[in-house]
Amino acid sequence: MNKFNINTGKKIKNSKKELIGYTSSLSAAISYGISAILAKIIVGQITTPLIASSFALFFGFFTLSIIFYKQLMNIKSIDKKTFLFLFLAGLASCIGVGAQYYAMNNAPVILVAPITGANALFAILFGSIFLKKIEKITPLTVIGAFMIIIGIIIIILSRT
Amino acid sequence: MGNIITGILFAVIAAIGWGASAVLSRIALEKTDPRLATIVSLFFSSIIMFSISLSTQFNEFEKLIVSDFLWFFSAGLTSFAAGRLLNYVGIKNIGVSKASPLFGTSPLFAALLAIIILNENPTIMLGMGIVIVTFGIILITKSK
């Protein structure tokens, strides 16, 4: 009886965790969708994507530092290795933004968008290589990712 | 032709960069709170981005006026404060293989918002794309 209760408890905990994860990821996509509209206005009328990204990143950092100042007090709890991974994650995303900017300057959107849109496949590929111990990648996830990427490519191309 | 190949190469680098960023943050999130991780990664990202833009487009900074910063603030709030934080919460809870494709659906929402806000015309191709993306999302949420 106890075992059943423990398992049920674990299942409820896992499904709650999954719900938070799915909701957060889709909310992040909506948030980025809104920012893409803002970016279209900013890049069209105000300044270049690199300068806009620099200030947007700073304001994002500044806002979160104020909202979560209590968590920021625990910064010493982060070990050096985690700091390094966060630095590399930030560096890799900057390379992504910068490279996309130069790609758009050199090739038409019809070629660039499908390639950059496939970044989730690289995440899955790298995940299957480097995250073997902490992540299980199922065939259904890969098929779902492919469908999303194909759908997104169609959406992007329909707007160009 | 040379320009196009350069463009394609940079597009591949961009896709690899974002894919790598998701995996690196997943490793970091094993031991950190997503809120703290987002703040630290945004700190590093803004330093790197300012260094690149100051060294390559210094003259463009002089053209900025005070009201422009309201736009940058709005973009920072939606894109990085909310967007990256929620993305990290997603990665921590469901893993990078599920969170990354879901996060990649942002152009779908951008297209829907463009129809509502910018009065862009919906097309059959857009509808097709939405249906395929929705099926993809369902498959990912069903995978155990």
Looking at residue B118, its pLDDT comes to 78
Looking at residue A114, its pLDDT comes to 77
Question: In chain B, how many domains are there?
Answer: 2
- Residues B109 and B88 both lie in one domain: no
- Residues B68 and B135 both lie in one domain: no
Could you say which residues from 18 to 37 on chain B have a Cβ atom under 8 Å away from some Cβ of chain A? 18-28, 30-33, 35-37
Half-sphere exposure of A46 (CA within 13 A, CB side): 23
| The token pair that represents A24 in the structure block | 């957060």
Helix (H), strand (E) counts: chain A: 7, 0
Per residue in A101-132, pLDDT (tens digit) is 788 778 887 778 778 878 888 999 999 899 98
Choose the weakest-confidence range: A29-43, A127-141, B34-48, B87-101.
A29-43
- Residues B84 and B128 both lie in one domain: no
- Residues B115 and B142 both lie in one domain: yes
Q: For the residues B53-63, what does the mean pLDDT come to?
A: 91
Could you give the angle at the alpha carbon of A124 between the alpha carbons of A120 and B88, nearest 5°? Answer: 70
Choose the weakest-confidence range: B8-17, B72-81, B82-91, B105-114.
B105-114
Looking at residue B1, its pLDDT comes to 64
Last residue of a domain, one of B77, B95, B113: B95
- Residues B91 and B109 both lie in one domain: no
Tell me which chain B residues have a C-beta less than 8 angstroms from the C-beta of A136.
95
Half-sphere exposure of A76 (CA within 13 A, CB side): 1
Local structure of residue B57 (DSSP, 8 states): -
| The token pair that represents A147 in the structure block | 């469908």
Residue B27 lies in a domain: yes
The ipTM, to two decimals, is 0.89
Residue B100 lies in a domain: no
Q: Which range marks the domain in which residue B135 is found?
A: 105-144
Looking at residue A118, its pLDDT comes to 83
- Residues B50 and B75 both lie in one domain: yes
- Is the Cβ–Cβ distance between A56 and B10 less than 8 Å? no
Torsion of CA B100, B101, B102, B107, to 10 degrees: 110
Q: Count chain A–chain B contacts defined by CB atoms under 8 A.
A: 479
| The token pair that represents B124 in the structure block | 């059959």
Tell me which chain B residues have a C-beta less than 8 angstroms from the C-beta of A93.
17-18, 21, 41, 45
Tell me which chain A residues have a C-beta less than 8 angstroms from the C-beta of B52.
50, 54, 94, 98
- Residues B10 and B61 both lie in one domain: yes
Whole-angstrom distance, CA of residue B112 vs CA of residue B116: 6
Phi, psi of A131 (to 5 degrees): -115, 30
- Is the Cβ–Cβ distance between A145 and A121 less than 8 Å? yes
Residue B63 lies in a domain: yes
Distance of CA B72 to the CA centre of its chain: 15
- Residues B109 and B91 both lie in one domain: no
Could you give the angle at the alpha carbon of A109 between the alpha carbons of A123 and B52, nearest 5°? Answer: 65
Q: For the residues B22-28, what does the mean pLDDT come to?
A: 94
Q: Is the pTM of this model over 0.95?
A: no
Q: Are the Cβ atoms of A74 and B36 closer than 8 angstroms?
A: yes
Looking at residue A3, its pLDDT comes to 53
Nearest to A99 by CA among B20, B104, B29: B20
Whole-angstrom distance, CA of residue A133 vs CA of residue A135: 6
- Residues B7 and B74 both lie in one domain: yes
Whole-angstrom distance, CA of residue A123 vs CA of residue A141: 12
Per residue in A19-70, pLDDT (tens digit) is 999 999 999 999 988 887 888 788 778 888 889 999 999 999 999 999 999 9
- Is the Cβ–Cβ distance between A144 and B140 less than 8 Å? yes
